[in-house]
Homo-oligomer: A and B are copies of this chain.
Amino acid sequence: MSTIVKTGIVGASGYSGTELVRILLRHPNAKLECVTSRSLAGKKLSDEMPHLRHIADDMSFTKSEPEELAKIKDIDVWFLALPHGVSAEYAKAFIAAGKKVIDISADFRLGSLELYKQYYGSEHPAPELLELGKYIIPELFDVKGVSLVACAGCYPTSILLPLIPLLRKKIVAGNNVVINSYSAVSGAGKKVDLNYLYCERNESAKGYGFVNHRHLSEIEEQLSDAAGKEIIVQFNPHLCPMNRGISTTITLPAGDSTLEEVYACWNEMYAGKPFVKILESGNYPDTAYVANTNRCDISCRYDARTKNFIISSVIDNLVKGASGQAVQIMNLIYNFDERAGLL
């Protein structure tokens, strides 16, 4: 395998796509060969992504027909930053052409076709690929031999990183889990909608999507896998006025476990992992401290009165919650330094 992997991005016009372009253009072991966008085809990246004027001078967006793209010999791995339902058609073409696919969208995150239909409102667009697709948070799941990566969603990344180790080790039982997450506005994507206007979101903190947010499906599927039994959680997402970041607070019964066991479990699980930092109990993770990084900071408190653990975690939703994590996965697949392009 060469030390330079050739990459392409399909659907790069949104916030995650821009972040992915930024990371790949600076990556020591990757070359960004192709960036597509239906709406921006023919236009220059430096005009459409003015944040990147100093690193994106010569590139233009290209058209994005799956079959045509799949024929490009020079590309080893395709990143998909597309709406759900759309990414599947690209994945099919790329997999058929023997490429690796790292999908930031939701099409291959769920193992269950019924769950997909229930949460996404339509039949799964490529059920034949479900088996191939692997849900990946790189600290928790092995990337070896994976050719179709379903990157975890932003909220799920902030939730599963602290919870899965505790469930796997039976330190927590998984009942009565209450999750409250506050997301930056970029979590909604670059959506031209009255609700996302500056004056609507500034000075606004509010819930949305209680009970049936799409990410709930992957959160519960993964927690259930980790626990070896069905886990049902309360997931309350919110918006607050920031550009980047998710702050998650999880309350759950400690059972007979202690704070020391939580920390021992995390310390063992995340020893040597460069992008998970465990803060001591009482030190609160802060979205400001992980902005523009691929890091997840976590900590836990124990309440002796309620016998609950209260776990806090933060990530940058566009980096560890999307594009940074996608590149971290690529690094691991290609045996690069896990941190390449991400510091």
Q: What is the interface of chain A, defined by CB distance below 8 A to chain B?
A: 15, 26, 50-51, 53-55, 176, 178, 180, 182, 184-186, 190-194, 196-208, 210-211, 232-234, 236, 238, 240-245, 247, 249, 251, 274-275, 277, 284-295, 297, 301-303, 305-306, 308, 310, 312, 314, 343
Measured CB to CB, the closest approach of chain B to A189, in angstroms, equals 9
Closest B residue, CB atoms, query A282: B210
Q: Which of chain B's residues have a CB closer than 8 A to the CB of A312?
A: 206-207, 210
A241, B54: Cβ atoms closer than 8 Å: no
Q: Which of chain B's residues have a CB closer than 8 A to the CB of A208?
A: 284
B176, A198: Cβ atoms closer than 8 Å: no
Specify which of A197, A240, A287 lies most central, judged by the most chain B CB atoms within 10 Å of its CB.
A197
Q: Which of chain B's residues have a CB closer than 8 A to the CB of A196?
A: 197-199
Partner of A306, one of B234, B285, B291, B293: B234
A197, B192: Cβ atoms closer than 8 Å: yes
Measured CB to CB, the closest approach of chain B to A176, in angstroms, equals 6
B54, A198: Cβ atoms closer than 8 Å: no
Instruction: List 20 extra interface pairs beyond A54-B295, A182-B182, A204-B242, CB under 8 A.
Output: A26-B343, A54-B293, A184-B199, A184-B205, A192-B197, A196-B197, A198-B198, A198-B201, A202-B243, A203-B242, A203-B245, A204-B286, A205-B247, A207-B249, A207-B285, A207-B312, A211-B310, A234-B306, A236-B251, A240-B247
In the complex, what distance in Å separates the CA atom of A301 from the CA atom of B13?
29
B193, A199: Cβ atoms closer than 8 Å: no
Q: Which of chain B's residues have a CB closer than 8 A to the CB of A232?
A: 305-306
Whether A194 contacts B198 in the complex (CB less than 8 A), given A238-B249, A240-B182, comes out as no
Specify which of A196, A207, A290 lies most central, judged by the most chain B CB atoms within 10 Å of its CB.
A207
Whether A289 contacts B236 in the complex (CB less than 8 A), given A26-B343, A185-B198, A203-B244, comes out as no
A206, B301: Cβ atoms closer than 8 Å: no
The 5 closest A-B pairs by CB, nearest first: A204-B288, A205-B247, A180-B180, A206-B286, A198-B201
B182, A190: Cβ atoms closer than 8 Å: no
Q: Which of chain B's residues have a CB closer than 8 A to the CB of A198?
A: 185, 196-198, 200-202, 241, 243
